[in-house]
Amino acid sequence: MKFDELQKAWQQQDVVGQVKIEGGALLKLIRRNHRTLEGLLFRRDFIEVTVALLLVPVWIWMGTSMDLIWTWYLVIPGLLWIAGFFVVDRLAQRKKRPQPGDPLRDSVKQSLSQIEHQIYLLKNILWWYLLPVAVPLVIFTIHQSWLNHQTWGMANQLIFFGLVFWGVYEMNQWAVRKKLKPEHAELLDILESLDRSELEVVPDPDSPDSENKTTS
């Protein structure tokens, strides 16, 4: 069979008979979906920031009710920093989200840049998320143990914090390795494949590609 015949068969497919669309239900859904999607994105950002911010009064309440030493409150700037970081990062990234109507190459490029940003964030989670909370906690633990002369208690608490923070860090690195890196490789593959073709467009009369160029 020739390609043209295959193309003809392709274009003559009975599409209408194979598609069922409930017009009324579709309109109802898109009206609801538009609101749901916007709400969903807002809620996700809102929850992450609120959790970080809500921890501040909880932290203060715990400090005052248990009459804890002043180094306990050093965690608060860390929590505020995390909340602020989330807000600024989300606002900056929101503008860069790929739009469904972008050309394929632009859409792939934007998705790639988003994935790279996520990988960057998770790889550096130690600096912007874990250390701002871990350092004040360590200072508080050492300070309190020093005041109470509890060397073993301090060692146990530090080991516990170390394990928890190490667990969070490793979980995020696992997500980078297992989820984000394969996605990144897939997107890079598509982009490179399109860009490689651009490089190969240099006119070359001997190239078999230029002879085979077909028109629609």
Partner 1 sequence: MEETEKTLEQRYCRWVKEHQGVIFRVVHASASQADDKNDLFQEILLQLWRSMPSFEGRCKETTWIYRVALNTARAWRRSEKRRRERSEHIATFASLHENDHAQNPLLEQLYEAIRQMPKAEGSILLLHLDGLSYQDMADVLGVSEGCVGVRLTRARKQLAEKMKGELDEV
- Judged by the rule CB under 8 A, the positions of this chain that interact with partner 1 are 1-3, 6-7, 9-11, 13, 15-23, 25-30, 33-34, 37, 98-108, 111, 183, 189-190, 193-194, 197-198, 200-201, 208-210, 212-216
* Closer residue to partner 1, CB minimum distance, 7 or 50: 7
* Closer residue to partner 1, CB minimum distance, 48 or 183: 183
* Closer residue to partner 1, CB minimum distance, 27 or 58: 27
Between CA 212 and CA 216 the distance in angstroms is 13
Report the length, in residues, of the chain: 216
Between CA 22 and CA 186 the distance in angstroms is 35
Distance of closest approach, residue 118 Cβ to partner 1, in angstroms: 12
Q: What is the DSSP letter of 213?
A: -
Between CA 174 and CA 180 the distance in angstroms is 9
Distance of closest approach, residue 172 Cβ to partner 1, in angstroms: 18
Distance of closest approach, residue 8 Cβ to partner 1, in angstroms: 10
Phi, then psi, of 156 in degrees rounded to 5: -60, -45
Q: Buried b vs exposed e over 175-206: b needs ≥16 C-beta within 10 Å?
A: ebeeebeeebeebeebbeeeeeeeeeeeeeee
Distance of closest approach, residue 17 Cβ to partner 1, in angstroms: 7
Distance of closest approach, residue 49 Cβ to partner 1, in angstroms: 22
* Closer residue to partner 1, CB minimum distance, 124 or 193: 193
| Contact of 60 with 75, CB cutoff 8 Å | no
| Contact of 78 with 132, CB cutoff 8 Å | yes
Distance of closest approach, residue 213 Cβ to partner 1, in angstroms: 5
| Contact of 74 with 136, CB cutoff 8 Å | yes
* Closer residue to partner 1, CB minimum distance, 80 or 190: 190
Residue in 111, 93, 94 with CA at minimum distance from that of residue 102 = 111
* Closer residue to partner 1, CB minimum distance, 50 or 193: 193
Q: Which helix (H) or strand (E) holds 145?
A: helix 131-148
